[in-house]
């Protein structure tokens, strides 16, 4: 997910934190709603 969207990662690193929600949504879609959205968001914040 992250590697496939480097332009969105650059925007997050520039300060657009709302895109983390977009990535969380993409993970939720890929997991068919089985992932925990809070944990996904926390992991993304830590990674980015």
d(CA 11, CA 31): 24
- Alpha-carbon span 33 to 48, nearest angstrom: 22
The residue-averaged pLDDT of 20-45 equals 94
Question: Is the per-residue pLDDT at 17 higher than 80?
Answer: yes
Domain extent listing, the chain: 6-47
| pLDDT for residue 3 is more than 90 | no
At residue 47, the pLDDT reads 84
Residue 14's pLDDT is 94
Looking at residues 18-35, what average pLDDT do you find?
A: 94
- pLDDT value of residue 37: 95
Q: From the CB of residue 46, how many other CB atoms can be counted at a distance below 10 Å?
A: 7
């Amino acid at each position: 997910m992250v590697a496939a969207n480097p332009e969105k990662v650059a925007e997050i690193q520039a300060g657009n934190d709302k895109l983390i929600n977009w990535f969380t949504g993409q993970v939720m879609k890929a997991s068919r709603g089985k992932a925990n959205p809070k944990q996904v968001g926390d992991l993304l914040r830590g990674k980015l």
